[in-house]
Structure 1
Amino acid sequence: MLSTEENIFMVIITGEFTVGMLGNGYIGLVNWIDWIKKKETSSIDYIFTSLAISRICLICAMVLNALIIVFYPEVHENDKIKIVNIFWTLTNYLSMWFATCLNVFYFLKVANFSHPLFLQLKWRIDRVVHWILLGCLAISLLISLIFAMTPKYELLKIAKHKRNFTESFHVSKIQYFSPVTIFSLLATVLFTVSLISFFLLIMSLWKHIKQMKLNVTGCRDPSTEAHVRPMKTVTSFLFLLFVYYLASLLMTFSYLMKERKLAVMFEEVIAIFYPSGHSLILIIGNNKLRQAFVRMLRCGKTACMM
């Protein structure tokens, strides 16, 4: 018999799972149909599809972990689900790498700078995007392999063997330098790269608006719109990733909490919101995906009227 908290948790998780699978599945399906029709795909569509597939896998791993928390808490407590954790590690970093690539791609395609390095990257990005994504896959696989070969985290061992919350911090700082620390630092690097891309986009937009004012031209020109749309997408990604990153850190240290199960359920709900919610933002911010969705709704209305 599930408690009230567990029932609420299952309802929210089911809703997030449905939204995430439909949103990311829709992105992948639209790009796949477009590729079938045109026999080719653009770099942005390639990134979108790779990101959608990685997030579908990530959501499945997270929901599976959520089900284990509710129905098999003793398995979760004893850390007997390492295969699930390895799969989560792979899909988690794959998703973050692909999302970072998307943000950098937006920056290179939309921003306007005269620096030779920027122009070189802007010119070559379409040619090397496939290799970049394969490199992201290789790095994620390497991280998962390291995770698989590493025993239980020292921090979790310390937390389980200490008698109270205060004592758990009276240990050597060296013991905290575990794979969790390395993985967290890598996630911070990816977040920083996206943040830099965002600020460079702002600089490019500011320069463009300043130039438009000098030329006595309206600020709402196509180039300005081309800056604003990616900025909205990158902003939403940074916010959701920041929340997701905090939830992941809290989940790592949940062994130190008295109400551990309730804390983990709360953190799981927040974490799944990132890959589910961001897919909807990508659909709204991308013209092709948005127009395809509008056409689908019109076809649905027409079918209902007939």
Structure 2
Amino acid sequence: MPSSPTLIFMGIFFLESFTAMLQNVFMVAVLGRKWVRCHTLPAGDMIVACLASSRFCLHGMALLNNLLVSINFSSIVYYFNIPWEFINILTYWLTAWLAVFYCVKISSFSHAVFFWLKWRISRSVPRLLRGSLIISGVTVIPVATGNLIMQMIASQSSHGNCTLADRTQTFYRYFLLPNVVLVWLIPFLLFLVSTLLLMFSLHRHLRRMRDHRPGPCDPSTRAHTVALKSLAAFFVFYTSYFLSLIIAVNKIATLQDQWHWAWEVVTYAGICLHSSILVLSSPKLRKALKMMVWKAPEKRLFISSCQNQ
């Protein structure tokens, strides 16, 4: 029987995952309906829709993996780790392209490269999305191969062969771990550079606006302040998710087995909160959410009146 803290963290994790999945389903439904109706979608919304789809699958795979671990089906978790790795890498690339898109569209740099990117980025988004799928599929192959080799070596070393156990550790340390970190690091660095550039550009623009038109009630100043705060939260949450995964694969947390569920809560809290930020920062999604909230009481009143009749 799990201890009380474990049950509490399990409940928090499941509530967090279901909340994130509902948020991502909402984003996919709203943007996907518009995509089907208009046969087109703005480039930024296209990235957000694909990102929401991948995050829905990511949370679903995390739920499935943790359920298998909790019911002692750890032997088959390795096979479910392969699609989790693919979805995780895809999520990294989509998040990186979203940061690049915001950086190019919103930043006020006057360099010729930024002007060229502003002109090209919207038309390049479909190719970037297809490229992300291809890159994720290619880069997950060595990771999946390494996981399967480790499983085979570990199954044989469980019979008491210390040499195979040492080989497993050596293989993990010098082949699998650097490969996993490198696969995650490339899109994360792209995200990091784009986000820092955009934060610097917005901060400089905000300071320039305050110098020319000081006043706390200026609507443009308030809009840029909200954008800067959202971007800072975006940066913190995504960086915490990256660092959590790096710590997990390096097995730095000595109490990882005892505090597995607490670690899962910390790992997925960032992307769950960032999904909330995406919903609240998009005018389309905010409007759809308000309409859904307003229509829900009216629908309940209509159903109750029909039942009374």
Q: TM-score, normalised by structure 2?
A: 0.82
Mapped to 2, the partners of 1:49 and 1:156 lie a distance apart of 40
Counterparts of 1:71 and 1:35 in 2: how far apart (Å)?
A: 41
Q: Does the alignment pair 1:301 with 2:297?
A: yes
Is 2:244 the counterpart of 1:244?
no
Alpha-carbon deviation of 1:287?
1.2
Alignment of 1:100-249 (within 5 A): 100-150=96-146, 151-152=149-150, 176-212=173-209, 215-216=212-213, 224=221, 227-249=224-246
Which stretch shifts more, 117-126 or 148-157?
148-157
- Judge which range, 54-63 or 259-268, deviates more: 259-268
Q: How many residues align?
A: 293
Q: Which residue of 2 aligns with 1:12?
A: 12
- Report what 1:285 is aligned to: 281
> Residues 231 and 134 of structure 1: is their aligned pair in 2 closer, same or farther, counting only changes over 3 Å?
farther
User: Which residue number in structure 2 is paired with residue 46 of structure 1?
Assistant: 46
Tell me how far 1:219 sits from its aligned partner: 7.7
Q: Structure 1 residues 212-221 or 281-290, which shifts more?
A: 212-221
Q: Which residue matches 1:90? A: 86
- Structure-2 separation of matches of 1:34 and 1:191: 30
CA distance in 2, matches of 1:156, 1:180: 16
- Structure 1 residues 225 and 100: CA distance shift in structure 2, 3 A: farther
What does residue 305 of structure 2 align with? none
1:200-243, Cα deviation, whole Å (9 max, x unpaired)? 22332344345435644668766655644443343223212222
Confirm or deny: 8 A CA contact 1:156 1:255 kept in the other structure.
Answer: no
Matches within 5 A, 1:64-79: 64-72=64-72, 75-76=73-74
Q: Cα 1:270–1:190, aligned 2, differ >3 Å: closer, same or farther?
A: same
Distance 2:275 2:195 in 1: 19
Q: CA RMSD in A?
A: 3.1
Moved more, 262-271 or 45-54: 262-271
Aligned-residue identity in percent = 28
CA 1:267–1:153 in 2, change beyond 3 Å: closer, same or farther?
farther
Structure 1 residues 4 and 21, CA gap change in structure 2 (3 angstroms): same
Gaps of 5+ in 2: 303-309
Residue number in structure 1 paired with 2:306: none
Q: Distance in 2 between matches of 1:226 and 1:58?
A: 32
CA distance in 1, matches of 2:94, 2:15: 24
Query: Does structure 2 retain, via aligned residues, the 8 Å contact 1:54–1:91?
Result: yes
CA distance 1:195–1:25, change in 2 (3 Å) = same
Moved more, 274-283 or 111-120: 274-283
Deviation of residue 255 (structure 1)? 8.9
Query: CA contact under 8 A between 2:199 and 2:232: conserved in structure 1?
Result: no
**Could you tell me which amino acid in structure 2 is paired with residue 152 of structure 1?**
M
